[in-house]
């Protein structure tokens, strides 16, 4: 079994070992140097790599290649080109050049660009990311790339991520040099994203327009059983689901994705997959592949995977926990508390950089996870609140407080210690319980950012997090490099950060209403909706932050702001129009027809027996009343959507959808859901929650 797994894992990846096997020694070494140093690849090396890559892909059955990239749509994009070329004698040959490997040219105006490209300005480029290995998917060689416009503006989610990784590497290296680390050549951020999703039977999915068009149920009364018994979480995995998971794992392993953990989640029909940590850009690529394969393989098993953050009301939604850390190329985790004074001080400084960054840039971290789907989830007692805070656990918090106040600290072994910049008691990895209500929790040697939504790319939150921490490390390095006495300056710096930013540390229950009041007293932001959060992206100080580290320039930030606001509006517009369609063509006719049947039965009973049936009489009255209410709500929803769409200003449209359309959608849903509870199930036009949540045997 072990040898089989070894052969399977990465078998469809053109990874380092495959390159070394197929490339000349000097070519391989030059490629490695290029990848590690971030230099441009010369054409001679590119041609050699391209030819070897093509030969390998063809041996695995590939006939086409694609530059696989991640535009601002949130999903991946690919245009397939064949290896086939025509020779002068009329015969064909399989070719792939270094030029084709390094650069592609998709239409830049056909993807979201926030005004950076006019329709007639179509030229855009994809550029190979050699740090993320090529792979074969569905018989096509996929080359991970960045995507930019003719003028060099980033049009994708990966470019700013790669830039942010360079930014944090640069600043972290300055800090490590101050601590005497001469053997470290590079610092990477690493991520392990946990992916939650729902599985529903395909036949029920296909009968619901809301799931097909929006990925979530826009109507649906609660079924008698939800997650109250807590029997689904970590429960026995159903055979049909297990068969899907087994195939999913195998396909992910072939692509080098480190899928490790699988289990049932809290809500019925909800599941989770978690990978082993990898470098952030690779983890981002792998998570996109994971989402794609979850959906594709589910269909092979006659199921449909729902990645929406809130596909069902009344039960938990789905998130994507982003476990983030910093590691050196020598294998040292910089967020691992050490056992020596040297390691302790270094750990404390990096910890302080994160704490200070999260406090000063709450707005950026919140908006990095802001989507229409995630608005349903955050702050709903199933996910972290929309308020950003940091959980450290009691022991580490007490240690930081002792440092702040310059007092003695007694650890759990009752050993009395004087805490200075160089002294930290041995800190066990799991010194505290986890806090699932915290949006940003320290969990031993990493931070778990629990706010991202299940359908989102993790590139967004990670390029923000990388940049924020890079900026704090830059400030620290600027101070310490000039300090006449490094130890004294370090001590003062750590104490100052703890004193000035302890408001962001909260170890309590984030679901408690008292925390909302407490957070307000502390001056913490509570950006409840996407339109509340996104305008912070274009604050002058935030534009300066990203420009300072060359992650995004002003034009790129304004374009992203416009794209994200318009995406919010478009999603809600599709949902609202789908609700009107379902109400008008399915719900109201079904309820009216059922009421007519009851009325006819009631009349027949009166004619035959001379008495009315109270059930039929009262039910007809109630249904008629609810049908009228739903009809009025449906027409009102159409009106408010038309008014919102009439505005030519994208910001005004977004706020109109938030303030008017969402409320009108809820006003339509309420009577329709009540109608579901009163209508014969056989007469109801689409599957109920009971079938969707418990329909997989």
Domains identified in the chain and CATH numbers: 2-156 (3.10.20.70), 157-193+322-552 (no CATH), 195-318 (3.30.590.10), 566-694 (1.20.120.1560)
* CA-based nearest residue to 358, from 524, 158, 192, 530: 524
* Inter-helix orientation angle 459-482/280-300, to 10°: 170
pLDDT at 289 (0 to 100): 97
3-state secondary structure at position 124:
strand
- Residue 174 makes CB contacts below 8 A (sequence gap 6+) with 473, 474, 477, 481
For residue 243, which phi and psi values (nearest 5 degrees)? -60, -40
What is the secondary structure of 542-579 as a DSSP string? HHHHHHHTTS--HHHHHHHHHHHHHHHHHHHHHHHHHH
Strands (E) in 4-160, as ranges, are 13-14, 64-68, 80-82, 84-86, 92-94, 103-104, 124-128, 134-137, 140-149
Stretch 103-132: mean pLDDT: 72
CA angle (535, 662, 214) in 5-degree steps: 95
Which residue(s) pair with 85 in the sheet?
Answer: 93
Taking the mean position of all CA atoms in its chain, how far away is CA 196? 10
Stretch 547-557: mean pLDDT: 97
Which residue(s) pair with 137 in the sheet?
Answer: 140
Tokens 């105006």 belong to residue? 109
**Residue 431: both structure tokens together:** 């010194």
* Inter-helix orientation angle 280-300/158-178, to 10°: 140
* CA-based nearest residue to 65, from 50, 75, 76, 49: 50
* CA-based nearest residue to 150, from 172, 189, 118: 118
Q: What is the largest CA-CA distance in the chain?
A: 104
User: Which helix (H) or strand (E) is 395 found in, with range?
Assistant: helix 394-405
* Inter-helix orientation angle 486-501/459-482, to 10°: 140
Higher per-residue pLDDT: 381 or 537: 537
Residues counted in the chain: 697
pLDDT at 343 (0 to 100): 62
pLDDT at 5 (0 to 100): 76
3-state secondary structure at position 333:
strand
Asked if residue 429 lies in contact with residue 326, where contact means CB atoms within 8 angstroms, the answer is no
User: Cα–Cα distances in Å, from 202 out to 5, 304, 327, 593?
Assistant: 31, 5, 43, 27
CA–CA gap between residue 358 and residue 41 (Å, rounded): 37
pLDDT at 124 (0 to 100): 76
3-state secondary structure at position 279:
strand
Reported as a single tens digit per residue, the pLDDT across 468-479 is 999 999 999 999
**Residue 548: both structure tokens together:** 């300072």
Stretch 441-459: mean pLDDT: 94
**DSSP letter, residue 316:** -
Query: Does residue 416 carry a pLDDT above 50?
Result: no
Query: Does residue 421 carry a pLDDT above 60?
Result: no
SS3 content of the chain, % helix, strand, coil (to 5): 50, 15, 35
Q: How confident is the model at residue 430 (pLDDT cuts 50, 70, 90)?
A: low
CA–CA gap between residue 550 and residue 553 (Å, rounded): 7
Q: Are strands 64-68 and 140-149 parallel, antiparallel or unpaired?
A: parallel
For residue 328, which phi and psi values (nearest 5 degrees)? -90, 165
| Residue 36 CB neighbours (<10 A) | 13
Reported as a single tens digit per residue, the pLDDT across 250-296 is 999 999 999 999 999 999 999 999 999 999 999 999 999 999 999 99
pLDDT at 15 (0 to 100): 93
Strands (E) in 377-439, as ranges, are 390-391, 408-410, 416-418
* CA-based nearest residue to 12, from 194, 257, 249: 257
Reported as a single tens digit per residue, the pLDDT across 578-606 is 999 999 999 999 999 999 999 888 887 76
CA–CA gap between residue 237 and residue 690 (Å, rounded): 19
3-state secondary structure at position 294:
helix
Stretch 515-537: mean pLDDT: 96
- CA dihedral (540, 543, 545, 547) positive or negative: negative
Reported as a single tens digit per residue, the pLDDT across 65-113 is 999 999 888 889 998 989 987 666 555 466 888 888 888 777 666 777 7
**Residue 531: both structure tokens together:** 């339109």
User: Cα–Cα distances in Å, from 425 out to 94, 411, 499?
Assistant: 63, 7, 20
CA–CA gap between residue 24 and residue 73 (Å, rounded): 39
CA–CA gap between residue 673 and residue 657 (Å, rounded): 22
What is the secondary structure of 636-664 as a DSSP string? HHHHHHHHHHH-S-HHHHHHHIIIIIHHH
3-state secondary structure at position 1:
coil
pLDDT at 117 (0 to 100): 54
Query: Does residue 414 carry a pLDDT above 50?
Result: no
Asked if residue 399 lies in contact with residue 569, where contact means CB atoms within 8 angstroms, the answer is no
pLDDT at 415 (0 to 100): 46
Stretch 632-643: mean pLDDT: 98
Burial of 240 (0-12, 13-18, 19+ CB in 10 A): middle
CA–CA gap between residue 333 and residue 192 (Å, rounded): 14
Q: How confident is the model at residue 380 (pLDDT cuts 50, 70, 90)?
A: confident
pLDDT at 293 (0 to 100): 98
For residue 376, which phi and psi values (nearest 5 degrees)? -70, -25
Stretch 231-252: mean pLDDT: 93
CA angle (569, 572, 575) in 5-degree steps: 150
Stretch 436-444: mean pLDDT: 89
**Residue 535: both structure tokens together:** 């305008």
**Residue 314: both structure tokens together:** 């009344």
CA–CA gap between residue 157 and residue 425 (Å, rounded): 41
CA angle (138, 143, 149) in 5-degree steps: 125
């Amino acid at each position: 079994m072990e040898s089989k797994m070894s052969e399977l894992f990465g078998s469809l990846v053109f990874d380092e070992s495959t390159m070394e096997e197929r490339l000349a020694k000097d070519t391989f070494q030059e490629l490695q140097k290029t990848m590690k140093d971030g230099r441009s690849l010369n054409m001679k090396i590119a041609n050699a790599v391209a030819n070897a890559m093509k030969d390998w892909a063809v041996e695995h059955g590939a006939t086409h290649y694609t530059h696989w990239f991640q535009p601002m749509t949130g999903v991946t994009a690919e245009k397939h080109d064949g290896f086939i070329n025509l020779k002068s004698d009329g015969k064909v040959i399989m070719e792939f050049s270094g030029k084709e490997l390094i650069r592609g040219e998709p239409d830049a105006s056909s993807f979201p660009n926030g005004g950076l490209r006019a329709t007639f300005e179509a030229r855009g480029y994809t550029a190979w990311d050699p740090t993320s290995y090529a792979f074969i998917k569905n018989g096509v060689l996929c080359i991970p790339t960045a995507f930019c416009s003719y003028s060099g503006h980033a049009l994708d989610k990966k470019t700013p991520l790669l830039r942010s990784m360079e930014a944090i590497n640069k600043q972290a290296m300055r800090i490590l040099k101050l601590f005497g680390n001469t053997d470290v050549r590079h610092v990477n951020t690493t991520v392990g994203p946990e992916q939650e999703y729902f599985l529903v039977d395909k036949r029920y999915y296909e009968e619901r327009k809301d799931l097909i068009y929006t990925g979530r149920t826009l109507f649906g009364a609660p079924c008698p059983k939800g997650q109250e018994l807590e029997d689904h979480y970590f429960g026995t995995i159903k055979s049909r689901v297990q068969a899907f998971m087994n195939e999913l794992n195998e396909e992910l392993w072939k692509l080098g994705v480190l899928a490790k953990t699988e289990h049932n989640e809290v809500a019925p029909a909800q599941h989770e997959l978690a990978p082993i940590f990898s470098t952030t850009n690779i983890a981002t690529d792998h998570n996109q592949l994971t989402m794609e394969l979850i959906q594709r393989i589910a269909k092979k098993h006659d199921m449909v995977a729902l990645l929406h953050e809130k596909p069902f009301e009344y039960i938990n939604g789905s998130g994507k926990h982003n476990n983030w850390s910093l590691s050196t190329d020598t294998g040292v985790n910089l967020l691992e508390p050490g056992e020596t004074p040297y390691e302790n001080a270094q750990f404390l400084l990096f910890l302080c950089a994160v704490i200070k960054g999260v406090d000063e840039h709450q707005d950026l971290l919140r908006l990095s996870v802001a989507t229409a789907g995630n608005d349903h989830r955050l702050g709903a007692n199933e996910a972290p609140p929309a308020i950003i805070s940091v959980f450290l656990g009691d022991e580490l918090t007490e240690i930081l407080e002792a440092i702040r106040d310059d007092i003695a600290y007694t650890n759990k072994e009752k050993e009395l210690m004087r805490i200075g910049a160089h002294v930290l008691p041995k800190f066990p990895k799991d010194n505290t319980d986890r806090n699932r209500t915290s949006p940003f929790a320290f969990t031993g040697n990493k931070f778990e950012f629990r706010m991202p939504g299940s359908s989102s790319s993790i590139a967004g939150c990670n390029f923000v997090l990388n940049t924020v921490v890079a900026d704090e490390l830059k400030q620290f390095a600027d101070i310490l490099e000039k300090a006449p006495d490094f130890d004294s300056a370090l001590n003062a710096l750590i104490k100052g950060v703890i004193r000035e930013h302890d408001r962001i540390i909260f170890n309590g229950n984030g679901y408690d209403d008292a925390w909302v009041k407490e957070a307000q007293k502390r001056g913490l932001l509570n950006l409840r909706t996407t339109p509340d959060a996104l305008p912070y992206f274009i604050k002058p100080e935030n534009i300066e932050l990203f420009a300072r580290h060359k992650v995004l320039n002003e034009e790129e930030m304004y374009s992203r702001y416009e794209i994200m606001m318009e995406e919010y509006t478009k999603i809600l517009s599709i949902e609202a129009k789908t609700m009107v369609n379902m109400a008008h063509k399915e719900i109201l006719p079904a309820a009216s027809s059922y009421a007519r049947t009851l009325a006819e039965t009631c009349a027949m009973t009166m004619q035959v027996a001379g008495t009315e049936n109270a059930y039929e009489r009262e039910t007809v009255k109630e249904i008629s009343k609810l049908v009228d209410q739903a009809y009025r709500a449906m027409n009102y929803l159409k009106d408010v959507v038309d008014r919102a769409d009439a505005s030519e200003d994208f910001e005004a449209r977004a706020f109109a959808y938030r303030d008017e359309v969402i409320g009108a959608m809820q006003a339509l849903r309420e009577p329709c859901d009540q109608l579901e509870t009163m209508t014969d199930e056989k007469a109801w036009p689409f599957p109920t929650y009971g079938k969707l949540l418990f329909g997989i045997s």
